[in-house]
Copies of this chain bind each other. A is one copy, B any other.
Amino acid sequence: MFDPQTYSQRRQKLAESVGGGVVLLLGHSHSPMNYADNYYPFRQDSTFLYYIGLDQPDLAAVIDTDSGRTTVFGHPPTVDDVIWSGPQRSLNQLAQLTGADLAAPIRSLQRSLDRAKKQVRPVHFFRPCRAATGNWLTALLGPDAEGGVSGELIAAIVAQRLIKEPQEVAEIESALEVTARMHIDAMRLAAPGIVEGVIAGHVESLAIAHGARLAYPCIFTRHGEVLHNHSYHHKLKAGDLVVHDSGASSRRHYASDITRTIPVSGPFNERQRTVYHAVLTALEGAMEQIRPGIRYRDIHLDAARSITCSLQQAGLMKGDLEESVAEGAHGLFFPHGLGHMMGLDVHDMENLGEDRVGYDTDTQRVNQFGLRSLRLGKFLESGHVLTVEPGCYFIEALIDQWQQQKRHERFINYAEVRRWCGLGGVRIEENVVVTPDGHRILGPPIPRSVEDVECACQTELN
């Protein structure tokens, strides 16, 4: 946790933005794997973490925005809890840690909400992402909870959480210290004959050793063209290209999110180098432009332009560059967005609504293939933390579909594209904070240039 003042101040700001009524924040319970007592590693709700910070299951908090008082609700610990789970903090101790005014047993939460409703004061809440928490909300608020969600509350939370405090950026950088080691180790371990899972397992062990977890399931695959590939059963072969997308959480649960593409045998072959260079050029061109006041969708489109230009040089694409980008022909190779906001969640606040985070009235989501997957389109501001992650893939199912539909034939050399199938995919990803006069790449450097990656891949892990 941060110090109690951090949470008090965040709640005070929230109370001012929401303006009247009470805010109900529900924490997560344990999430069962196969039966109630065999649960996944606990992950608190991110908004609860942001405003309350207490990292244990079955808590709730009510912020009275009129009086400014916060009450933490929980189960008073029993001797049985101590026997099974070790020394427990009292509810008052928990309240002190977050700078709350009151602590109360969870059974009094219902009474507290009923009182607010009786006084005809609004109860602000949002729909939780977990069904168990959703059922709890419904039990507390009745049918109100089903449809109604407080738009003011979500807008206030999003506005506040999007601008990172310096201590939050420091947390993300602490996660990146671990993530750098994960990626450098993976480059050194990757070799013909090794099963992907051995390296994926090692990567996860480093996050656990650091006292945290991965921020999202690791991608480590010779089939990088499958964008969300979470299987690790292939044996690596000479000449393979591996997409490795993984990031540790910090101890306070801030995410990091880094991708590198690894040539298994050490040097890239010629086609691999061509594609790698195309993606790297797009990445570096995109990062250079990051500053307050620029629209991220424009940077995305510029990255698309950069990749299209490189693919034209390689004979994979053709025709007028601007028309090609405007019509979205590059979507065949780069079907996802350039990046997304990052913070306590790797896709920050995605549970509050992707469009509420990445778009606004000035910038609305566009429905073109590729562009519709762009999670962040709006103008950047100082304090935003985001990912930059261009990619280029050879996805046979998509190539089949487009070629059959004769889609973008003016811009794509399908015959040549076929020859490159089997290459897999390349993605390179960095995490960046927007500063008042530009940007800063977060975390320690991780090999990224062709030469540095090849060198790291030819070094063995000792």
Q: Which residue of B lies closest to A46 (CB)?
A: B34
Partner of A84, one of B87, B227, B346: B227
The A195-238 residues at the B interface (CB cut-off 8 A) are: 195, 197-198, 200-202, 204-211, 216-217, 223, 226-233
Which of chain B's residues have a CB closer than 8 A to the CB of A36? 129, 350-351
Tallying the copies of this chain within the complex gives: 2
Which of chain B's residues have a CB closer than 8 A to the CB of A429? none
Which of chain B's residues have a CB closer than 8 A to the CB of A384? none
Does any Cβ of B come within 8 Å of A130's Cβ? yes
Does the CB pair A345–B195 fall under 8 Å? no
Which of chain B's residues have a CB closer than 8 A to the CB of A228? 84-85
Does any Cβ of B come within 8 Å of A192's Cβ? no
Does the CB pair B83–A398 fall under 8 Å? yes
Known: A31-B33, A197-B211. 10 other contacts (CB 8 A): A31-B40, A33-B216, A35-B345, A35-B350, A35-B351, A83-B398, A84-B227, A86-B229, A197-B208, A201-B209
The CA of A130 and the CA of B401, in the complex, are separated in Å by 38
The CA of A395 and the CA of B202, in the complex, are separated in Å by 35
Does the CB pair B79–A397 fall under 8 Å? yes
The CA of A226 and the CA of B205, in the complex, are separated in Å by 23
Which of chain B's residues have a CB closer than 8 A to the CB of A335? 83
User: How near does chain B come to A353, taking the closest CB pair, in angstroms?
Assistant: 10
Among A45, A131, A202, A217, which residue has the most Cβ atoms of chain B within 10 A? A131
14 residue pairs A–B, Cβ–Cβ below 8 Å = A31-B31, A32-B130, A32-B351, A34-B46, A34-B345, A36-B129, A82-B397, A84-B228, A85-B228, A197-B208, A197-B209, A197-B210, A201-B209, A202-B205
Does the CB pair A232–B204 fall under 8 Å? no
Does any Cβ of B come within 8 Å of A403's Cβ? no
Partner of A200, one of B86, B208, B216, B347: B208
Does any Cβ of B come within 8 Å of A4's Cβ? no
Does any Cβ of B come within 8 Å of A135's Cβ? yes
Which of chain B's residues have a CB closer than 8 A to the CB of A232? 208, 211
Does the CB pair B397–A83 fall under 8 Å? yes
Does the CB pair B395–A83 fall under 8 Å? yes
Does the CB pair A201–B197 fall under 8 Å? no
